[in-house]
A and B are shown apart, each in its own frame.
Chain A
Amino acid sequence: MNRLIIQQAGPGVTVQDKGRTGYIALGLSRGGAADRLALAEGAALLRQPVGAAIEMAGFGGRFSVVEPCRIALTGAPMRASLDGVPLVWNASHLMPAGSVLDIGGASKGVYGYLTLGGGLATDPVLGGQGAHLTAGLGRALAAGDELTLSDDKGDETGLTLTPQSRWDGGTLRVLPSLQTDLYSQEERARFEASTLTRDTRGNRMGIRLMPEGEGFGLKVGQKILSEIITPGDIQIPGDGAPYILMAECQTTGGYPRIGTVIPADMPKVAQCPPGAKLRFRFVDRQEALGAEMGYRKHLAGLSRAAQPLVRDPADITNLLSYTLISGVTAGEELS
């Protein structure tokens, strides 16, 4: 069987999939890829079902394979090259046996994804293949690790798709939640009118936001009964700086939550880099359901959206570094 060999890895390189369900009652949150959309884009570019891929927080690593392997690169654009030849991001490629894939730092966003043709054949633990770092399940990948790959039934490469831009913050749609009423109308209006900055503190559990002026702490916040937490919850500890909770969040907590970011906007949360600005807009259930419908339709259409790279067949040796369509460039030009 084919193997992926990790020669070097950045500090936040992990295996991730769609997460584990059924363990909230035992205190284990679902986990899984921080940017589910990028995970799905990787699978679409290889025309395979969504499975486990390599998630890279901020920085990739150096990889090789013992047999030829299809790969797809999605999520936060990172500088990538194969044996020194720049690779197009948001595209699928063929990686020859023994070749060296280098993935550097993210030029935009936070989480990049390396998806392997056929997927990873690692054994599931509690129904998932991914590392859940805050739970102590699995660990980050390191130099010397080898991962077994499943047989690849596909053979198509050279596909690309244009990702939804989500690398620089923006406006997030928020549903009211259990404790929204603890905040006065004025406080909620001030929250919606505020621009918050993504703090440097952030990981797969969540990201911290800095308010521009006074924080959003509640005086009553310290004796709220601990209650269910879901990804997207905007939790505000006493210091007034909100956290948006993500894939690896705790399952329960007692700090007040002003609302919940809708699932369709969570890729934007995950990919919001330190220093980027975020705003919030409260929506009602109907609007949120409409957004969810649109999001799922988008996910379902990814496979169709993956199209061959525009290229001149005579130019085949230059193919991988070719400037394709407006906005999609070889990795080196992004730096």
Chain B
Amino acid sequence: MAQTTLTFPRIDSVGLDGLLVRFGDQLDEAANRAALAFRAAVEASGWDGVEECSTSLVSTYLRFDPLYLSHDDLEMQLTGLLSERDWYAADLPDGRKLLRIPTVYGTDLAPQFEEAAQVAGLTAEEAVASLSQARVRVTALGFAPGQPYLGTLPEAWDIPRQTALTPQVPQGALVVAIRQFVLFSVTAPTGWRHIGQTAAKLFDIDRDAPFLLRPGDEVEFPSVTREAFEQIEQAPDAGITREALV
């Protein structure tokens, strides 16, 4: 496929009013750091005509006014900024934290656990051990408010999305595909398999800090029983513990 011959970083257009700086075409820790650091640098530059900036897993997105700032001019500015340093060597953002979010694996709460374990070639016990011990990092927030993509899971979890959408998974659902977790902030349809359930509220406008997670934060999903989960569900913090990462 043509994609394998691409060199990075590269700049592509997104719709009429967006440019995307891609640091890779697969999930990669250094490319993720590069995207986060590059976004911070773009924001610090304060370019006139750039209206919004964000990161996805391994890329930085800019929305701009193409009638005010031409594609060519913005691309030139981006190329200049890219050449200023080795972005893949950039540090992670400051102020990161580690959260532990209690999770029920399988049961009626997470009906696709067994199927996912099977696709991954693991027994149910192996799958719980593997997922509950993994320390994953928030690589990006996306899809819905405060909703994290978390990676990278062990090789066995390089499983595809489903062909069809699951009509809906509930808020707090932990789903898996392509060596990543997504933890759902809202009830939504998904093509990823629903393997665990948490009581986490990732976006709560009534909270002082409405967004629970930031890119760069690390998360573990320790296994709890269904009975323990019912207690946790009632707790205001959903049983989540957090500590600062230094």
Contacts and interface: CB of A to CB of B under 8 A. Distances in A.
A and B physically associate: yes
Interface of A: 21-28, 125-126, 134-137, 175, 177-178, 181, 217, 220, 222-223, 225-228, 230, 232-233, 237-239, 250-255, 260, 262-263, 285, 288-289, 292-293, 296
B246 interface: no
B26 A225 contact: yes
A92 B61 CA distance: 40
B142 A252 contact: yes
A251 B143 CA distance: 5
Interface in B15-67: 15-18, 20, 25-27, 39, 51-59, 61, 63, 66-67
14 contacts: A21-B52, A27-B145, A27-B185, A28-B145, A125-B205, A126-B205, A135-B145, A226-B140, A228-B54, A230-B15, A232-B15, A233-B15, A251-B144, A292-B67
A217 B163 CA distance: 9
A222 B143 contact: no
Interface string B4-19: 0000000011111110
Nearest to A264: B16
Interface residue tally of chain B, by bracket? 35 or more
B146 A26 contact: yes
Contacts of B15: 175, 177, 230, 232-233, 260, 262-263
Interface of B: 1-2, 12-18, 20, 25-27, 39, 51-59, 61, 63, 66-67, 71, 140-147, 149, 160-165, 177-178, 185-186, 188, 191, 203, 205, 210-211, 215
A181 B58 CA distance: 19
A135 B140 contact: no
Nearest to A137: B205
Contacts of B56: 226-228, 252
Interface-central residue, B17, B26, B145, B147, by most chain A CB under 10 Å: B145
Contacts of B16: 175, 260, 262-263, 285, 288-289, 292
B29 to A, nearest CB: 14
Contacts of B186: 134-136
B14 A178 contact: yes
Given A28-B144, A252-B140, 13 more contacts: A24-B52, A25-B141, A135-B203, A136-B145, A220-B1, A225-B26, A226-B56, A228-B20, A230-B18, A237-B165, A237-B191, A289-B67, A296-B67
Contacts of B54: 24-25, 228, 251
A262 B15 CA distance: 7
Contacts of A226: 56-57, 140, 142-143, 149
Contacts of B149: 226, 252
Nearest to A219: B163
B39 A225 contact: no
